[in-house]
Chains A and B, each alone.
Chain A
Amino acid sequence: MTKSVQSLTYQERVYRFLYILLFFFLFLMGRLFYIQILRGENYRRVSEANRTTLFFEQAPRGIILDRNGKVLADNQPTFVVLWMPIELKREVLATTVEKLSGLLRLKEGDLASRLRPAVQRASLTRVIDRVPRDLAFSLLEHRPDLPGISVVTEMQRDYPQGSLASHLLGYLGKVTPEELENRLEEPETGELHGEQFLGKMGLEKVYDSLLRGRPGGMRIEVDALGRPLKILDHQKPVAGYFLKTTIHSEIQKVAEDALSRTGMPGALLAMDPRNGEILAFVSSPEFDPNLFLRRGDEESGGLSSLLSSEEQPLFNRAVQGQYAPGSIFKIVVAAAALEGKKIAPEQNFYCPGYFWLGGPGGKKFTCWKKEGHGSLNLHDAIVHSCNVYFYNLGLRTGPDVMETMARRFALGSSTGLEFPGEKKGSIPGRTMFKTGKRRWFDGDTLNMAIGQGTILFTPLQAIQMVNLVATRGKLFRPHLLREIRNPAGDLVQSESPEPLEDLSLSQETWDFLTQSLTDVVERGTGQSCKIAGIHVAGKTGTVQNPHGKDHAWFVAFAPSENPTISVSVIVEHGVKGSLSAAPIARDIFLAALSPTQ
């Protein structure tokens, strides 16, 4: 018989070994706790995502209305072709693709490449969006020969007015991989889906998260190979919020027609100076945002010509175009001179049609009127837009005072419109040459005094400048949105005027400016904007353009006693403000203030 073991040391060894092993188990228990309790929520979500695939259904985007409730963007039922490749054999697939390509008038190769991922993953796929009605019906007729194909309707974005207010509305596009990565989940709109359309420009982009709604669809259970097993539930899509804009669609229409009649690119803004509401927002040429939503070969031609056009229709000139202001800057120069007490309004200067500047950088500076204006005071110099008077005035006032006043007129900085990509323009000054080799010369002062050279405005800044004159120093943030309503129609949010910093000038200066600008239209350079029965105050501008014909500016407000609307127009290559820009403003005032109404 073997010796019996009573030795304690053996038992100690046994237990010591046991404790080591139990320690491992406790460690695993802790790991289990971490995985299942602490991180369980997370893994539950991963496993849910594993087992389900969403057959996605677009939510109707929120409707965009003008200030009177007229529809600018809504949704139309469209036909969508779906394909569910369940237990499809190779031969069946080939004949289906062949038939389908014939019916859809698509190339077989294109269609096959569109269907390939669906075949590989055996998942439900959208074959084509926005199928024309006749095509949809012929597909339905042939359905017995097309296994797996189904046609459903879905509400999709539509712009009933075509290109009207296209730069305001913007356009939609398929979500890009980067967007998918960066904005995976948002509380309001749910998870972003690869089939989803997002706003890429304009209001569609700015208020995308409001407009988008919450997409719905069928949750389908799939196995590890992605094969659909059963439908779990169906989630109704939730429509996006309604946006009521400040736009007045009649004024908008008039403005677009008038601008397009010139045949030149340009921009126009109309605002209510009393509260900052934008009534018209035009950048010409316009584009049809519906083009971005269509698929198929026959329409994409329109889109590609849009994208390749030399006039750059997608460029939003109203907030991104930067132009030298020309003579419309004289409003600021006059205000600077008067407020700085550099001149009395009665002071006369003689205009022979040119101005000789001596000293370094000196040369002959001309007036637009070659024969000269003769002797005239400040009021008449504004009315007739005399450059020589303003050369003298500029030299007396000096660049620093002019620059300060321009900045007080909210120029050279963004206006605070909710649009992305707004340009800031530029106001030159002596500081800009401090570091470089070049100095500020008197010639620069002269150029600045008549709004030429390195000074730049956007049309939106120009209208804010004239709004200040109209309201005598009260400025509001320009905005495009009046109300946000939920799909049921309840008010969610309404915008109220948001005052910006006031510009306080003396009453005499305001009076003088209003009177002078009114006389510009009554008997000066802006006569082509004259309207019987209404006093319009305005200022023309012409921008020297080394690359072609001069650009034409006109800024105005009316009625000048109690302004309710202001306008700024720029027509590229419009030659002269008085010729091309001012008549457009007249159309706007007629439409807005029509004496018959």
Chain B
Amino acid sequence: MTERLKPHFFLTSLRERDSLVQKIVRHFDWILFLDVLALCIIGVVMIYSASLRLKSHELIVSKQSVALLVGIAFLFLLAILNYQVFEIYPRPILMFSILLLLSVLFLGSTYRGTRAWFALGPFSFQPSEVSKLLVILVVAGWCSQKEEEMEYLKSVFVPFCIVLAHILLILLQPDFGSTLVYFPVLIAILYVAGTPSIYLLTILFYAVVSLGFLLLHTGFSLRPPLLETGSIYSFFYKGMKFGKEFFWIHVSAGSLILFLWWFLKGLRYRVSWVSFLFVFLILSVSWTSSSYLTQAMKGYQRKRLMVFIQPELDPMGAGYHVIQSVVALGSGQMTGKGLFSGTQGRLGFLPEQHTDFIFSVLGEELGYVGSSMVLIFYMVLIWRAFAIAAGSRDRFGMLTAVGIGTMFAFYAILNLAMVMGFAPVAGLPLPFLSYGGSSLVISLAAVGILLSIHSRRFTY
């Protein structure tokens, strides 16, 4: 028993005579590995094609290839390493993650107005990418140890605070796009961990309300006639900034809820005042954070949101990207224009063609055949991640796999929706395909953890 309580760091089982390699080969998830490898190779080829017209073409491709090799090394390392090691030391992991994000704020190098990178010679490294994976491990570790206590507020509150701290630190860089992934990952882990749905709904409510106010604010600013002085809209619009309107909105919302409570009490409905306070707090917090976001948003981000609400607003500017991306995809038709001969990408009609819009280049050159194949690869990846979660031998493995799977799914869905004209241009990469070393290495490392969970599913 004592031997079992202590997890093995590496596959050093004495009971079985198999060698390490045999063991890995036997329990290895080949489908997942080959699927991810295929995506990575397609990614490098497409980056090669998309960057052909750029001056730094060779540098881009070679950097991505190096990242791929490093990533695969990480993948094997983590596949061999027992993932349970991350459960034992949640605090150092959390500290490390926070420290990374803090230090990049002071020591990081700035690129396009965002202080988010550490420069390492010719390479650069983005700590927020690492933090994502670390947060998944920490939150999964916390939740796996609170199996019977998930209905307690504290069990939900701690992961929520961990995520909020990361979001705040990343917003200080500021990088709006990178923070988005934390919500779905948190909700997925908490849901699977058995959190009562009231908490999840609260988080969902918070996210929806704060993003909804953000969109509403942008929508208002697009319609100046609504904002004439004295109108109710202009009152709300001004309330988005910290000022006297902000205060009055809180007072009136508070008194409305108080009145509702008093009214229901009068009708002899027994509702605890705590829940009303709770509703008020959520409203207040989400209103405050969306107020913060509207002021923290940079000009181009605000413009992207506006264009998402009204694409015809700027067909040659920010809306242009989305239109050209859809044109590129559509012009690929069934079989595409042929590898390396897409015109939209090669002639510079696509923005960010080797990063965010890599899928447009792929769709243009390989057509529906190629792009739907890539879509199927992603579906296989997500399926494997969740199947590994379901087959995991412990709660930690399950929650980690769910978090990783959700992360991949969220990135893929949002990026694809963006290039197909369904979502605002949020600057999210497509995992394994988009150019970006940190993202690729971390994605492969995450796959390594998945493989580790899978190969240890029978080990007791």
Contact = CB atoms under 8 A, between A and B. Distances in A.
Interface string A29-49: 101110111011111101110
Interface in B180-219: 188, 191-192, 194
A103 interface: no
Contacts of A13: 191-192, 194
A492 interface: no
Contacts, number: 154
Contacts of A37: 333-334, 368
Interface in A1-28: 1-5, 9-11, 13-15, 17-18, 21-22, 24-25, 28
Nearest to B147: A3
A474 interface: no
A224 B329 contact: no
Contacts of B433: none
B347 A36 contact: no
Q: How large is the interface on A (under 10, 10 to 19, 20 to 34, 35 or more residues)?
A: 35 or more
A2 B140 CA distance: 13
Nearest to A221: B347
A10 B368 contact: no
A51 B329 contact: no
Given A17-B191, A21-B382, A43-B326, A2 B333 contact: no
Contact of B330 (A17, A40, A223): A40
B386 A35 contact: no
A157 B160 CA distance: 78
A2 B331 contact: no
A47 B327 contact: yes
Contacts of A176: none
B147 A22 contact: no
A43 B382 contact: no
Contacts of A223: 53, 347-348
Contacts of A17: 188, 191-192, 386, 402, 406
A222 B347 contact: yes
Contacts of A225: 348
Contact of A28 (B382, B393, B417): B417
Contacts of B375: 25, 28-29, 32
B15 interface: no
Contact of B398 (A14, A36, A47, A48): A14
Given A1-B7, A37-B334, A223-B347, A11 B372 contact: no
B333 A41 contact: yes
Interface string A73-103: 0000000000000000000000000000000
A2 B394 contact: yes
Nearest to A25: B379
Given A28-B375, A35-B330, A39-B330, A11 B390 contact: yes
Given A2-B145, A3-B394, A223-B348, A36 B333 contact: yes
A46 B327 contact: yes
A51 B402 CA distance: 44
B404 interface: no
B333 A14 contact: no
A18 B382 contact: yes
Interface string A212-243: 00000000011111000100000000000000
A15 B382 contact: no
A318 B394 CA distance: 98
Contacts of B398: 5, 10, 14
A237 B13 CA distance: 81
B389 A14 contact: yes
A31 B420 contact: yes
A50 interface: yes
Contacts of A15: 386, 390
A511 to B, nearest CB: 74
B413 A25 contact: yes
Interface string A304-343: 0000000000000000000000000000000000000000
Given A18-B386, A21-B409, A5 B372 contact: no
A98 to B, nearest CB: 33
A22 B379 contact: yes
Given A2-B395, A41-B333, A14 B7 contact: no
Interface in B377-406: 378-379, 382-383, 386, 389-390, 392-396, 398, 402, 405-406
Interface in B313-370: 324, 326-334, 343-344, 347-349, 363-364, 367-368
Contacts of B363: 32, 35-36
A46 B329 CA distance: 11
A17 B200 CA distance: 14
Contacts of B188: 17
B422 A31 contact: yes
A390 to B, nearest CB: 69
Interface in B1-25: 4-5, 7
A15 B396 CA distance: 17
A287 to B, nearest CB: 43
Contacts of A24: 409, 413
Nearest to B408: A21
Contacts of B156: none
A2 B386 contact: no
Contacts of A11: 390
Contacts of B191: 13, 17
B371 interface: yes
A36 B348 contact: no
A46 B347 contact: no
B144 interface: yes
B306 interface: no
A154 B188 CA distance: 70
Nearest to B323: A46
B402 A1 contact: no
B87 interface: yes
A480 to B, nearest CB: 46
Contacts of A1: 4-5, 7
A28 B413 contact: yes
Contacts of B116: none
B416 interface: yes
Chain A CB within 10 A, most for which of B191, B324, B333: B333
Given A44-B331, A221-B347, A36 B390 contact: no
Contact of B343 (A14, A31, A47): A47
B382 A22 contact: yes
A1 to B, nearest CB: 5
Nearest to B396: A2
B413 to A, nearest CB: 5
Contacts of A36: 329-330, 332-334, 363, 367-368, 371
Chain B CB within 10 A, most for which of A5, A29, A39, A41: A5
B425 to A, nearest CB: 17
B416 A10 contact: no
Contacts of B383: 18, 22
Contacts of B417: 28
Contacts of B332: 36, 40
A36 B84 CA distance: 45
Contact of B394 (A5, A18, A40, A41): A5
Contacts of A3: 147, 394-395
Nearest to A28: B416
A14 B394 contact: no
Nearest to A39: B330
B212 to A, nearest CB: 20
A4 B364 CA distance: 48
A224 B402 contact: no
B181 to A, nearest CB: 14
A35 B412 CA distance: 18
- Report, nearest first, the 4 A-B pairs whose CB atoms are least far apart: A43-B330, A40-B333, A47-B331, A224-B348
6 contacts: A21-B405, A25-B378, A28-B417, A43-B329, A50-B343, A224-B348
Interface of A: 1-5, 9-11, 13-15, 17-18, 21-22, 24-25, 28-29, 31-33, 35-37, 39-44, 46-48, 50-51, 221-225, 229
Given A14-B390, A48-B343, 6 more contacts: A4-B394, A25-B375, A32-B363, A32-B420, A40-B332, A47-B327
